[in-house]
């Protein structure tokens, strides 16, 4: 289906909405007929629809943007959107399959014949039927994934009896769709934060995991995660060192929320091993969210056989733990400006990457908002969130060798002063743009690259990526693209990627002599 315009800002109300929630959801779950993404994130909604084999239409709205996704047996098969940049023609231009001239021909033909884009593409012989089939499937995927970026917006369901058989081939795999959407629009720290409270639970496989393995696997790191889910390892242990890998973290998120694994407090123990103590591998998760009873002294422990005042003792211990935690959070929040990232994680300046990862995992777990909620400390949630975000920032900087060197130089006055806050923001934007660029969505990548370069204009990779996206987007901005690529070359005269990109651009502009020099230089630098 091609893009369509809607007069209303909101999708029409369903006449008789029904819940797509299956019986295996929590008993107190209310019928899922409409809602807001602030309450029900889109990835979770998609998995709920899949588990219930939902047939019908999902309508999404945000401001004046509307989308309609048709589902068949819980999988998205057809879509409509009123966004001009989500038409089939623009998508094919982004992928390099159509030129601007081709797109203009399509638009003229559609106006003349009053037909859809797909018909125009086939009639003008600009695409083969098989290519059109793949493009329509990809169109559904892109439209859904773009909505993962919506932190605000609403959804409504219009259930139907069943889907149409002729659109069965356009089915997108919900597991892969959700994983791709998380990778595109959630940072590793966001996904990790959502998983944090479950890291010390043992990951037990369900009967559905083997079938999902064939769909989610294929990457060595993800295969290792799937193999590690045997009921004997904690989730954090199964993830291992992949705490900065969006595909790995997103896969773990899908496994949990699609209920392909069960998280339990105890491991599976073989009968032959029941006489032996189970010792988990060295994930080294040691710091708790609050001081335990043992930390408050030997006399604070309670048992069922203690005198009736033991309940009061337990309550007193919890109150004491809460006050200790309150004091710690407030003191840490007050001293944030005076702490280095090493101080914040509690590691020395020569700490190894493994030690930094361990310290980050422990600190993030300790200050996670869920832990404070359990202690009744909601009144200092804002302060804790600030501490939590600084801990995530410290990990992001210290886990990257190049950014760590820049940070060390800054705090030791060995080079120009570096604003690590701006650097972290710019790097996050750049990573998001990389994902979109790899998907061929250069228009979407520009939304992240422009503010990225504004924050940190002295980085060659950022300038180069912006210049390339300006060139590769549907309506190329050649002079602006050249300006940024030339600037990138000034920042790093030995970067082969920038040499190649600028060479391709200059060849397009007809400057063949310099283009050849740049491309030859790129080959030499890569060798």
Task: Give me the half-sphere count of Cα atoms (radius 13 Å) on the Cβ side of residue 117.
Answer: 23
Task: With respect to residue 61, please indicate whether it lies within any of the assigned structural domains.
Answer: yes
Alpha-carbon distance of 389 to 348, in angstroms, equals 20
Please give the structure tokens belonging to residue 468.
């390339």
Rounded to whole angstroms, the Cα distance separating 387 from 370 reads: 14
- The pLDDT value recorded for residue 420 is 58
* Per-residue tokens: 410: 């800054």
In this prediction, residue 356 carries a pLDDT of 85
* Dihedral over Cα of 154, 158, 162, 164: its sign: negative
Residue 7 domain-assigned (yes or no): no
In this structure, what token pair is assigned to residue 371? 């832990």
* Domain co-membership, 493 together with 379: no
Cα–Cα distance for residue pair 58/51, rounded to 1 Å: 15
Count how many residues are written for the chain. Answer: 527
User: Distance of CA 78 to CAs 23, 81, 172, 411, 473, Å?
Assistant: 27, 11, 10, 54, 25
Distance between CA 150 and CA 154 in Å, rounded? Answer: 9
> Are residues 216 and 261 in contact, defined by beta-carbon separation less than 8 angstroms?
no
pLDDT of residue 161: 63
Q: Is residue 25 part of a domain?
A: no
Q: Please give the Cα distance from 519 to 516 (Å, whole number).
A: 5
Residue-level pLDDT at 288: 36
C-alpha distance from residue 170 to each of 11, 67, 119, 166 (Å): 23, 17, 17, 9
In 10 A of CB 258, how many CB atoms? 23
**Residue 476 corresponds to which tokens in the numbers above?**
């190329």
Question: Are residues 144 and 55 both part of a single domain?
Answer: yes
Q: Do 55 and 148 have their domain in common?
A: yes
Question: Is residue 378 located within the same domain as residue 499?
Answer: no
**Same domain for 246 and 350?**
no
Which of 145, 172, 199 is the last residue before a domain boundary?
172
- The total number of structural domains that make up the chain: 4
CA dist 104 → 2, 88, 122, 472 (Å): 16, 13, 15, 17
**Residue 88 located in a structural domain:** yes
Same domain, 59 and 148: yes
Does residue 52 sit in the same domain as residue 111? yes
Q: Please indicate, yes or no, if residue 352 is contained in any of the structural domains.
A: yes
For position 181, what pLDDT does the model report?
93
Q: What is the pLDDT of residue 465?
A: 95
SS3 204: strand
In a domain, 498, yes or no: yes
* Triad 208, 210, 214: Cα angle to 5°: 120
Question: What CATH number should be reported for the domain holding residue 504?
Answer: 1.25.40.10
Whether 241 and 303 map to the same domain: the answer is no
The structure tokens listed for 333 are: 């929040």
Torsion sign, CA atoms 311, 267, 250, 19: negative
Q: pLDDT tens per residue, the chain (527 residues)? A: 334 433 333 333 333 333 333 333 333 343 368 888 888 889 999 999 998 889 999 999 998 899 999 998 899 988 899 988 888 888 888 888 888 888 889 989 999 989 988 888 888 999 888 888 888 888 899 999 999 988 788 999 998 865 444 444 567 899 999 999 999 988 877 787 788 778 878 999 999 998 888 899 988 989 999 999 999 988 888 887 777 788 999 999 999 999 999 999 888 876 544 444 434 333 333 333 333 333 333 333 333 333 433 444 445 555 777 788 888 888 888 888 888 888 888 899 888 887 887 788 778 777 776 667 667 787 887 788 788 878 878 887 888 787 888 788 777 754 444 565 677 678 778 877 887 787 778 888 899 899 999 988 888 999 999 999 999 998 889 999 999 999 999 999 999 999 999 999 999 899 999 999 999 998 888 77
Main-chain dihedrals φ then ψ at residue 514, nearest 5 degrees: -70, -35
pLDDT for the residue 296:
35
Pair 405, 433 in one domain: no
Domain boundary among 113, 145, 172: 172
Q: Do 132 and 249 sit in the same domain of this protein?
A: no
CA distance 349 to 343: 9
- The model carries a pTM of 0.52
The pLDDT of residue 6: 35
d(CA 254, CA 248): 10
On whether residue 48 sits in a domain, the answer given is yes
Task: Give the domain-ending residue among 123, 139, 172.
Answer: 172
- Looking at the structure, do residues 406 and 297 belong to the same domain, yes or no? yes
Both 341 and 426 in one domain: the answer is no
Domain presence at residue 17 = no
State the residue range of the domain holding 468.
420-526
Looking at 254-381, which runs of residues are DSSP E strands?
Answer: 261-264
């Amino acid at each position: 289906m091609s893009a369509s315009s809607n007069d209303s800002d909101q999708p029409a109300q369903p006449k008789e909405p029904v819940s797509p929630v299956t019986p295996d959801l929590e008993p107190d779950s209310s019928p899922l007929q409409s809602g807001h993404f602030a309450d029900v994130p889109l990835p979770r909604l998609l998995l709920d629809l899949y588990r219930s084999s939902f047939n019908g239409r999902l309508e999404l709205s945000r401001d004046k943007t509307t989308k309609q996704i048709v589902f068949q047996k819980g999988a998205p098969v057809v879509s409509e959107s009123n966004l001009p940049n989500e038409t089939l023609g623009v998508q094919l231009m982004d992928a390099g399959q159509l030129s601007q001239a081709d797109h203009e021909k399509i638009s003229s033909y559609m106006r003349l014949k009053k037909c859809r884009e797909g018909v125009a593409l086939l009639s003008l012989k600009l695409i083969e039927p098989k290519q059109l089939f793949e493009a329509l499937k990809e169109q559904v995927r892109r439209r859904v994934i773009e909505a993962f970026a919506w932190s605000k917006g609403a959804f409504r369901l219009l259930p139907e009896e069943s889907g149409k058989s002729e659109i069965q081939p356009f089915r997108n795999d919900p597991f892969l769709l959700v994983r791709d959407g998380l990778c595109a629009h959630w940072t590793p720290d966001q996904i990790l934060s959502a998983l944090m409270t479950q890291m010390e639970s043992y990951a037990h496989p369900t009967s559905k995991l083997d079938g999902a393995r064939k769909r989610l696997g294929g990457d060595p790191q993800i295969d290792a995660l799937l193999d590690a889910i045997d009921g004997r390892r904690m989730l954090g242990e199964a993830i291992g060192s992949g705490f900065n890998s969006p595909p790995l973290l997103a896969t773990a998120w899908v496994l949990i929320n699609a209920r392909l694994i069960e998280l339990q407090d105890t491991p599976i123990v073989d009968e032959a091993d029941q006489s032996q103590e189970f010792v988990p591998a060295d994930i080294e998760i040691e710091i708790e969210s609050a001081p335990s009873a043992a930390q408050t002294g030997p006399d604070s422990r309670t048992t069922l056989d203690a005198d009736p005042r033991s309940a009061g003792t337990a309550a007193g211990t919890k109150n004491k733990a809460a006050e200790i935690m309150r004091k710690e959070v407030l003191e840490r929040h007050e001293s944030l400006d005076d702490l280095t990232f090493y101080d914040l994680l509690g590691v020395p300046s020569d700490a190894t990457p493994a030690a930094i990862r361990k310290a980050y995992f422990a600190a993030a777990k300790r200050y996670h908002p869920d832990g404070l909620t359990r202690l009744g400390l909601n009144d200092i949630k804002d302060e804790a969130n600030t501490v939590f975000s600084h801990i995530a920032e410290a990990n992001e900087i210290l886990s990257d060798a190049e950014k760590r060197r820049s940070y060390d130089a800054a705090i030791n006055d060995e080079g120009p002063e570096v604003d690590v806050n701006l650097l972290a923001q710019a790097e996050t934007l750049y990573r998001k743009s990389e994902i979109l660029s790899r998907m061929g969505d250069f228009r979407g990548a520009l939304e992240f690259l422009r503010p990225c370069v504004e924050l940190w204009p002295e980085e060659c990779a950022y300038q180069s990526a912006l210049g390339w996206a300006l060139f590769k987007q549907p309506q190329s901005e050649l002079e602006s693209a050249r300006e940024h690529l030339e600037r990138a070359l000034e920042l790093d005269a030995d970067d082969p990627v920038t040499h190649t990109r600028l060479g391709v651009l200059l060849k397009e502009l007809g400057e063949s002599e310099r283009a050849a020099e740049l491309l030859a230089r790129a080959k030499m630098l890569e060798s």
